[in-house]
Amino acid sequence: MSTMTSGIHHITAIASDPQRNLDFYAGTLGLRLVKRTVNFDDPGSYHFYYGDRTGRPGTLLTFFPWPGADRGRTGVGEAVVTSFQVPAGSLQFWEDRLGAAGVWGVERRWRFGVEVLNFADPDGMVLELVPNGARGGAVPAPGAVPVEASIRRITGATLRLADEGPTAAFLAELLGLRSAGGDQGVQRFATDGDATAGMIDLIRDPEGRRGSMGAGTVHHLAWRARDDRHQQEIRAALLAAGHAVTPSVDRNYFRSIYFREPGGVLFEAATDGPGFLVDEAEETLGQSLRLPPQYELRRPAIEAILPAITLPEPSSESAV
């Protein structure tokens, strides 16, 4: 079908302290800060993008770090777990590393026949490491984490819903995902091309409280659109099915449309291009504050408002 997505483009979440967020994701988890910019709708706050060596679609976890933000409440109508792919055999490394760093909630669990590692970031956002033998995307630039254990990509997310039925139909009929079975009351959907690139697990919780946005919660989940034409096909299909969807918005590194699935989770369809190399060289990604053209004249005022941060030391090595 023309609207079928090839997987997740990125997931965006909310954090509180920018430096603590940077230290955890670029330091403890070893992701690369591939872009340091601002929230295009709120230029007085940062937008951090973490990913692989060049920030390719499918590897990206992004944050709006709002200093002093209240802690959110995960619940119904939200993505409650964000999952990363790591190499097979690396869970012991991660269990030891996270334990030594004092990370909260480190626990092994079995999901869909695979042992995974759960833990929480400094704001309480629940993360999951899923071992898989496939390389699936470039590894981050060598640095805090050895290449043989480093995070490869985002594999998916878990949604908590009052009724999973309408969301299941939405994923299948409008985004082209397929049912991938169930486990312990959880329904899984996956993209046809690569199940590790876009797995969505649905938890039914009819009596659960609604979630509330704040630090430690996912703001939205973005699906891949090959290009502008594909994005417009997705938009047309959504409108034809009676769903509200925004016009395309230019985010410099991709173009986006936004819509909600029936359970209330905010979705996005983002184009694969043009990517993060349009305004920085690969070697210096994330090292300088990049602003969209409409804010460039306001740079001095914006820089004066943004909290001072210490960036991770750039690696002089190349990823394999």
**The domain spanning residue 276 has which CATH number?**
3.10.180.10
Mean pLDDT, the chain, whole residue set = 93
How far apart are alpha carbons 13 and 49 in whole angstroms? 11
Answer whether residue 1 is part of any domain.
no
Comparing CA positions, the residue from 188, 165, 200, 178 lying closest to residue 113 is 188
pLDDT digits (tens, 9 = 90+) for 263-286: 999 999 999 999 999 999 999 999
pLDDT digits (tens, 9 = 90+) for 83-141: 999 999 999 999 999 999 999 999 999 999 999 999 999 999 999 999 986 655 556 66
Long-range pairs, 225-228, Cβ under 8 A, ≥24: 225/5, 225/9, 225/269, 225/270, 225/271, 225/272, 226/6, 226/271, 226/272, 227/271, 227/272, 227/273, 228/255, 228/271
Answer whether residue 279 is part of any domain.
yes
pLDDT digits (tens, 9 = 90+) for 210-239: 999 999 999 999 999 999 999 999 999 999
Pairing of strands 8-15, 114-120: unpaired
Evaluate whether 290 touches 35 at the Cβ level (below 8 Å): yes
Answer whether residue 183 is part of any domain.
yes
Answer whether residue 314 is part of any domain.
no
Answer whether residue 154 is part of any domain.
yes
Answer whether residue 320 is part of any domain.
no
- pTM of the full predicted structure? 0.95
Task: Identify the pLDDT of residue 199.
Answer: 94
Query: Structural domain tally of the chain?
Result: 1
| Residue ranges making up the domain that contains 245 | 8-305
Reading the block at residue 232, the tokens are 């417009």
Beta-sheet strands, E only, within the chain? 8-15, 32-39, 42-51, 60-65, 78-87, 107-111, 114-120, 126-132, 153-161, 178-183, 186-190, 199-204, 218-225, 249-250, 255-260, 266-271
Answer whether residue 75 is part of any domain.
yes
167: phi > 0 → left, psi -120 to 50 → alpha, else beta; which?
alpha
Q: How many residues does the chain have?
A: 320
Q: Which amino acid is at 74?
A: T
Answer whether residue 317 is part of any domain.
no
